[in-house]
A and B are shown apart, each in its own frame.
Chain A
Amino acid sequence: MPDKIQWLPILTELGEEEVARIIEKSPDIKSAILKARKDFKTAETEAADLEKLGHESEG
């Protein structure tokens, strides 16, 4: 049996918690949302800095 199911050792290494995490629904949407939120927040800050660029000498 172990010879035929070659991925079983991988699951053994992952552990039950990791397997449970993989079972969680829609991981792609969640990771896309997290990345988008992070980048949009940073983009807003960077755009604000861009607005200030060249105006540093002004009062």
Chain B
Amino acid sequence: MRKRKLLSIALVLCLFAGIATTQTSCSEKQLGQAAEAAKDIAGGTRDVIKAVGDAYKAGLITIEQKDRLAALLKAVAKGGQHGVDVIDSLEKQGVTTLSPDNSRVLRAVFDDEVISPFLSLLTELGKLSDNSSVAIRAALASVRTAIVLLSSRIGRNDVIQAIRAREVWNA
């Protein structure tokens, strides 16, 4: 009897998996991609913070440079938190189609609170010599990848172009 019950649960599992796959809407997929990107950006941001601290302690960057980078990283972290709150709220509401208002809110948080400080971060890094910034840039790679990947998936080539325009390397 127990085996029959478990077998029926397993069959239901397979059925749900099939239904979930076919019914996954475009918006649910985008929410999932945004959540995954947020996770990667959050982890990468912590790595960059550590790299900046190490660079400062090693005397590779000045206190002023360190302060500017720290402020921008704090802004990315705060903006990212806000973005996660929005994604979480939509996911809990069971949103299957993003309304124009939802899309507008998500875009505003993405542009103003995550991308803007991130682009400023790239600008600041562009002012440093390669030698002093190499470890910071290496740590930033995962954040950049997550942002570029998400931007590509949601059709935001303007963000990708803006990132490329700020990637300056100095001798």
CB <8 Å contact, A40 and B53: no
A29 to chain B, nearest CB (A): 5
Q: A37 is contacted by which of B52, B78, B84 (Cβ under 8 Å)?
A: B84
Interface size of B by CB at 8 A reads 45
Taking residues whose C-beta sits less than 8 angstroms from the other chain, chain A's interface range is 35 or more
Chain A 1-45 per-residue mask, 1 if CB under 8 angstroms from chain B, else 0 = 010010110011000100100110110111011011111111110
Contact, CB under 8 Å: B73 / A23: no
Cross-chain contact B74 with A44 (CB below 8 angstroms): yes
Q: Report if A29-B31 is in contact (Cβ < 8 Å); known contacts: A39-B45, A43-B46, A50-B70.
A: yes
CB distance from B95 to the nearest CB of A (A): 11
- Report B's interface with A, CB cutoff 8 A: 2-3, 6-7, 9-10, 12-13, 16, 20, 28, 31-32, 35-36, 38-39, 41-43, 45-46, 49-50, 52-53, 56-57, 63, 66-67, 69-71, 73-74, 76-78, 80-81, 84, 87-88, 91
